[in-house]
Amino acid sequence: MKLQLKQKSILPGFGLALGFTILYLSLLVLIPLSATFLKASALSWQQFWHIAASRRAVASYQLSYGASAIAAAINLFFGLIVAWVLVRYDFPGKRLFDSLVDLPFALPTAVAGIALTTIYAPNGWIGHWLAPLGISSAYSRLGVVIALTFTGLPFVVRTVQPVLEDLDKEMEEAAASLGANRWQTITKVLLPSVMPAAVTGFSMAFARAVGEYGSVVFISGNMPLKTEITPLLIITKLEQYDYAGATAIAVVMLISSFVLLLAINLLQAWSGGRLKRAHGSELPEIAEAGAAS
Amino acid sequence: MASITFPTPGLPVSAHATHATTERRWVRWTLIAVAVTFLGVFLFLPLAVVFSSALEKGFATYLAALREPDAMAAVKLTLIAAGIAVPLNMFFGVAAAWAIGKFDFTGKSLLVTLIDLPFSVSPVVSGLIYVLIFGLQGLLGPWLAAHDIKIIFAVPGIVLATIFVTFPFVARELIPLVESQGTEEEEAALTLGASGFQTFWRVTLPNIKWGLLYGVILCNARAMGEFGAVSVVSGHIRGRTNTMPLHIEILYNEYQFAPAFAVASLLALLALATLLAKTVVEWKARQQSAEWEQIIGEAV
């Protein structure tokens, strides 16, 4: 059966490698994930709805999704500027800043969480400037946005950067020689070409932020209905041994993240495979050299 | 990159030409200032605050916090979890890359999507799914309890959760890389009489080594730093089921800020080492690809 589905090749090990891949994937990812749905199916529809649409749960969705959208928008705006500056300009320390962009991927979320809380607490480095203005940055919804901005920072930069590097300078020169001023060239020529990448980066940052836990719990204050994010609500329910409640909310999160994953895949297809190399790394040059061979 | 401009005789090498393809000086420096401030506030400050808070009470306190038995136990458990999860996921990544990158078969893109799945699941849910299977209330809970096997609130659960959250790292680095390299070199080796394993070891592995190393570095950083998923399955037993991030949380919540940041500083150093290694590996990979391009150039 498998041999008919597979193109002929003289390379050995297909059956073994694919068999192991599918076995490992099933045991560790697919079966555990489906067990969650199985567990949730023990609930009746009314029970499920009662938990998933409770006031506290809805407040947590509003905060998680709202704060994630704001944080991703902040990252979209600044990410475009950072990517532009890193690709087009030279300034002292540029390479250091470039490497540091990936810090949120490398720094454990708990460390980021306590560091951000310390900075934005009323007596912190930034918090003590904001406190007299009546802005409480830590232990508030603003704190959640700050933490999620940190978590999602690399995505837009790293999706837009390779696209900017690839852009033909000739397009801009053509626009300029046809009489466009710089602002017109940027808004009419450059922005449309980086937009698919930027939107993909935005949605990746958003998807990551929605599920984020470690960097948020320290800074958010965790007040039910006010600063309680959805992942924290799941943990709270687990700690109260409310497994049904935790499962129901987990299912809501899982379905929403699958929808987001689908949307991101469609976006990536739309932006024309360009972004294969984004999201962190992917050693783009090798991939290209190989494709050319 | 300097653009080529042809000065027209009689006209000054016009400011207009440059302004049409680059920004004015003040715009450039404003954008640089905005970018540097943003990165400074969101990246430099958190790093700085970790080290300054860790050393706030002096170096002796810092060392004492790290030598404390619970901290040592947390470091040990973190090393054990990463020491099991990373090699397993590395092995999986290589197998997946071989099957997906070197062969064509139906359902390939679905498989790639499924491998990426753990990245889109919230860490908290990643831990929860194992609780729902192996926990006391879980599907296998009663059976495990009857046989006195403890997975949740014990080391196996922590290892499982760590494997789940770091699952795609190596595979997603290697699959596009292996795919792009084609099968000609392996076919040549096989035709010349190499065995399957020799072909993999001598031909494929050297070609993917930087990508593999890169994936392992990222996988390891996440494995050692995972918080949400591990927090759900660990049970927070001091000295027994606390990893470094969980130990940091406990210390912090007990207002022991200096010791919390001392342990955090170790993980921050790991993050910096990861970024450094990443930069070096990217540079090496670029070199390798330059060689590739040269070979291709000569072939053409």
- Judged by CB atoms within 8 Å, which residues 23-82 of A form the interface with B? 24-25, 28-30, 32-33, 35-36, 38-39, 78, 81-82
Q: Which residues of A touch B296 (CB under 8 A)?
A: 289, 292-293
Rg from Cα positions in chain B: 26
B44-80 pLDDT, tens digit each: 999 999 999 999 989 999 999 999 999 999 999 999 9
CB pairs under 8 A between A and B: 357
- Chain B residues near residue A111 by CB distance under 8 angstroms: 50, 225, 245, 248, 264, 267-268, 271
Contact state of A246 with B290 under an 8 Å Cβ cutoff: no
pLDDT recorded at residue B244: 95
- How far B58 CA lies from chain A's nearest CA (Å)? 18
- A145-199 pLDDT per residue, tens: 999 999 999 999 999 999 999 888 888 888 888 888 888 888 888 888 899 899 9
The CA distance from B218 to A102, in Å, is 11
Q: Scanning the structure block, which residue is given the tokens 């921050």?
A: B268
User: Closest Cα of chain B to A245: distance in Å?
Assistant: 12
Q: Is the pLDDT of residue A23 over 60?
A: yes
Q: Quote the minimal CA–CA distance from A172 to chain B in Å.
A: 6
Q: Which residues of B touch A36 (CB under 8 A)?
A: 125, 128-129, 132
**Share above pLDDT 90 across residues of chain A, in percent, rounded to a whole number:** 61
Instruction: Report the alpha-carbon distance of residue B9 to residue B7 in Å, rounded.
Output: 6
Q: How confident is the model at residue B191 (pLDDT cuts 50, 70, 90)?
A: very high
Distance from CA of A44 to the nearest CA of B (A): 18
- CA proximity to B164, closest of B249, B78, B92: B92
Residue A133 per-residue DSSP state: G
Give CA–CA dist A177/A156, Å, rounded: 31
Which residue would you say has higher pLDDT here, A8 or A50? A50
Angle of helix A14-25 relative to helix B108-116, nearest 10 degrees, comes to 40
Q: How far apart are CA B69 and CA B238, in angstroms?
A: 10
| Residues of chain B neighbouring A243 (CB-CB closer than 8 A) | 131-132, 135, 137
Answer yes or no: are the C-beta atoms of B168 and A33 closer than 8 Å. no
B19 vs A149, A153, A182: nearest CB: A182
- The per-residue pLDDT for B293 is 76
Give pLDDT, residue A138: 85
- Domains detected in chain A: 45-280 (1.10.3720.10)
Q: B227–A235: do the CB atoms touch at under 8 Å? A: no
Locate tokens 């997906």: which residue?
B100
* Interface touch A89/B32, C-beta < 8 Å: yes
Cα dihedral B227/B229/B234/B240 (nearest 10): -40
For position B31, what pLDDT does the model report?
94
Give the residue from A145, A260, A144 showing the smallest Cα distance to A204: A260
Assign residue A89 a region (left: φ > 0; alpha: ψ between -120 and 50; beta: otherwise): beta
Residue from A111, A130, A203, A222 to probe the interface with B (highest B Cβ count within 10 Å): A111
- Apex CA B218: angle with CA B212 and CA B221, to 5°? 135
Percent of chain B with pLDDT over 90: 70
CATH 3.40.50.80 fits B58-299, yes or no: no
Closest C-alpha among A194, A160, A32, A91 to residue B34: A91
> Please, which pLDDT band fits residue B300 given cuts at 50, 70 and 90?
low
SS3 B5: coil
Q: Position of tokens 């908290």?
A: B124
Q: Where are the domains of chain B?
A: 1-54, 58-299
Radius of gyration over every alpha carbon of chain A, rounded to an integer in angstroms: 23
What pTM was estimated for this model as a whole?
0.88
Q: What is the ipTM of this complex?
A: 0.87
Q: Which residues of chain A lie closer than 8 angstroms to B53, CB-CB?
A: 118
Contact A275, A195 (CB under 8 A): no
